[in-house]
């Protein structure tokens, strides 16, 4: 196994830290190691200055003001702070929340936690492409709805929701709109002001920055959003989130976003071209392959395919050395197939057969060709071994077979 070359195509899970980001971070470990909250010496002042410069860069990158950004440990925490914080702060106004079935667990789980404590949660379904229906959203809003949480780009299938329209619908009814934009900040065109977003989560490690640092945008004007903290302590981040700031992480986060925005459209076009090349090769040379996600309104980096009659984990094993991920139950801790593919009405059989390729800044055309060849060879080999493929070739309708379930 070890003689096979390594290719990383799992950029929606995390990204390689850009060397230019590492370079920007380095001084903040052992040279300039002050605590940004130390108000009485130069070590603290220089750290604070760096944090505030980073805050300005990051805020500007999403169309926000610097006083509207709260640093967190990542998007999981930002989502929790947005949802738990807003629900608890506005509990007197109402106890109804709206989200959708394809959200990341870092949104769905805090929603479920609130549901267990007396809140009502409406989970909107999605169509076969993973898109919510805006009329369903309108119909779901009630007088006691306080928060809608609908993501921008989906982490599994890449479908991009129309955030500006969602923002407008929420604001018409005076409902707060939280958007998990972990997969789109620095990649898609996004502006919290223009798009009517009140709370927005994003994370450094998805944009070639370090792990363990993220931010929550919290709108300060029209409306001014307040949150009950989920972490109490020294009152950092204006009391929204206590804890000593991760100065090197924050510096790296800002540098990472800066690099993404330097040539956002150009980089995304290059990545989309690589993705399209991979998609064309795989769909051109293999039959019984299904595209998961919206055919057009999709993240440039994402290619999620179901290779019918082949189980995802066995395919990952056949691709050893190539880092991709699968929606198969066998690869998840919960042993459940992907909740996203399920919500899209993909049968569990196709969920078990799904592979997500996600491309990024450091992938090359040559890597795409290599991964395409490896995938085609592995799928063909596994289909030769698959009783389902054999049955399909014999003309048997697999949906009509009486299976011996376990």
Partner 1 sequence: MAYSDKVIDHYEHPRNVGSLDKDSPEVGTGVVGAPECGDVMKLQIQVENGVIVDAKFKTFGCGSAIASSSLATEWLKGRSLDEATEIKNSDIAQELALPPVKIHCSVLAEDAIKQAIEDYRRKQQQRQEAEQE
Rounded to a whole number of angstroms, the minimum distance from the CB of residue 97 to ligand PLP is: 17
CB of 179 to ligand PLP, least distance (A): 10
Q: Angle CA(212)–CA(216)–CA(221) in degrees, nearest 5? A: 165
Rounded to an integer, what distance in angstroms lies between the CA atom of residue 381 and that of residue 326?
A: 18
Give the list of residues 6+ apart from residue 386 with CB closer than 8 angstroms, or none: 309, 310
CB contact at 8 A, 118 and 278: no
| Shortest Å distance, C-beta 356 to ligand PLP | 11
Q: Does 203 bind ligand PLP (CB under 6 A)?
A: yes
Residue holding tokens 């629900």?
87
The residue within the footprint of partner 1, chosen from 11, 15, 145, 314 (CB under 8 A), is 314
**Chosen residue from 80, 99, 145, 182 binding ligand PLP by CB under 6 A:** 182
Q: Segment contacting ligand PLP (CB under 6 A): 23-31, 72-80, 310-318, 396-404?
A: 72-80
Q: Among residues 253, 215, 245, 243, which one has the least CA distance to residue 35?
A: 245
Number of C-beta neighbours around residue 91 at 10 A: 15
Instruction: DSSP letter for 153, please.
Output: B
- Residues forming beta bridges with residue 120, ordered by sequence position: 96
Asked if 283 and 243 touch (Cβ cutoff 8 Å), the reply is no
Nearer to ligand PLP, 199 or 379 (CB): 199
Known catalytic membership, residue 100: no
Binding of partner 1 by 388 (CB under 8 A): yes
Which span (1-9, 178-186, 288-296, 380-388) binds ligand PLP, by CB under 6 A? 178-186
Question: Taking CB under 8 A as the rule, does residue 404 contact partner 1?
Answer: yes
How far apart are CB 228 and ligand PLP at their closest, in Å?
20
Cβ proximity to partner 1, 80 vs 304, nearer residue: 304
Under a CB-based contact definition with an 8 Å cutoff, are residues 18 and 259 in contact?
A: yes
Q: Is 183 in the site for ligand PLP (CB under 6 A)?
A: yes
Q: How far is the CB of 332 from partner 1 (least distance, A)?
A: 11
Q: How far apart are CA 174 and CA 151, in angstroms?
A: 19
Q: Is 302 in the site for ligand PLP (CB under 6 A)?
A: no
Residues 329 and 326: their CA atoms lie apart, in Å, by 8
How far apart are the C-alpha atoms of 188 and 182, rounded to whole Å? 11
d(CA 73, CA 111): 19
Residue 214 makes contact with ligand PLP by CB under 6 A: yes
203 DSSP β-pair partners:
214
Interface residue with partner 1 among 384, 395, 397, 400 (CB under 8 A) is 384
Assess 313 for contact with partner 1 (CB under 8 A). Answer: yes
Where do contacts with partner 1 occur on this chain (CB under 8 A)?
1, 309-311, 313-314, 317-318, 328-330, 335, 337, 347-349, 352, 384-390, 398, 403-406
Enumerate the active-site residues. Answer: 330
Where do contacts with ligand PLP occur on this chain (CB under 6 A)?
74-76, 104, 106, 151, 155, 180, 182-183, 203, 214
């Amino acid at each position: 196994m070890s003689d096979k070359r390594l290719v990383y195509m799992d950029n929606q899970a995390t990204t390689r830290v850009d060397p230019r980001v590492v370079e920007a971070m380095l001084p903040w470990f052992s040279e300039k190691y002050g605590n940004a909250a130390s108000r009485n010496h130069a070590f603290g002042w220089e750290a604070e200055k760096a944090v505030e410069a980073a805050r300005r860069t990051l805020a500007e990158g999403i169309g926000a003001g610097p006083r509207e950004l709260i640093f967190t440990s990542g998007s999981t925490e930002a989502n929790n702070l947005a949802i738990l914080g807003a629900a608890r702060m506005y509990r007197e106004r109402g106890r109804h929340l709206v989200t959708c079935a394809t959200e990341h667990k870092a949104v769905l789980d805090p929603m479920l936690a609130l549901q267990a404590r007396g809140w009502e949660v409406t989970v909107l379904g999605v169509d076969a492409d993973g898109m919510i229906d805006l009329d369903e959203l309108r119909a779901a809003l009630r007088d006691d709805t306080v928060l809608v949480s609908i993501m921008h780009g989906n982490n599994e299938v890449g479908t991009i929701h129309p955030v500006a329209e969602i923002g407008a619908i929420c604001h018409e009814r005076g409902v707060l709109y939280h958007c998990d934009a972990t997969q789109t900040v620095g990649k898609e065109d996004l502006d919290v002001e223009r798009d009517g977003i009140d709370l927005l989560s994003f994370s450094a490690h998805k944009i070639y920055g370090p792990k363990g640092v993220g931010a929550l945008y919290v709108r300060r004007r029209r409306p001014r959003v307040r949150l009950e903290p989920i972490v109490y302590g020294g009152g950092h981040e204006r009391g929204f989130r206590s804890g000593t700031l991760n100065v090197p992480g924050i510096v790296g986060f800002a540098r990472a976003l800066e690099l993404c925005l330097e040539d956002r459209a150009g980089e995304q076009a290059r990545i989309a071209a690589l993705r399209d090349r991979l998609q064309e090769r795989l769909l051109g040379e293999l039959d019984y392959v299904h595209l998961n996600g919206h055919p057009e309104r999709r993240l440039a980096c994402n290619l999620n395919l179901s290779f019918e009659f082949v189980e995802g984990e066995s395919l990952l094993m056949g691709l050893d050395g190539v880092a991709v991920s699968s929606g198969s139950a066998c690869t998840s801790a919960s042993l459940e197939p992907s909740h996203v593919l399920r919500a899209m009405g993909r049968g569990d059989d196709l969920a078990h057969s799904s592979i997500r390729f996600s491309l990024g800044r450091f992938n090359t055309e040559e890597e795409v060709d290599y991964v395409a060849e490896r995938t085609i060879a592995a799928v063909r080999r596994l289909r030769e071994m698959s009783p389902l493929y054999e049955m399909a070739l014999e003309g048997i309708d697999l949906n009509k077979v009486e299976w011996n379930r376990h």
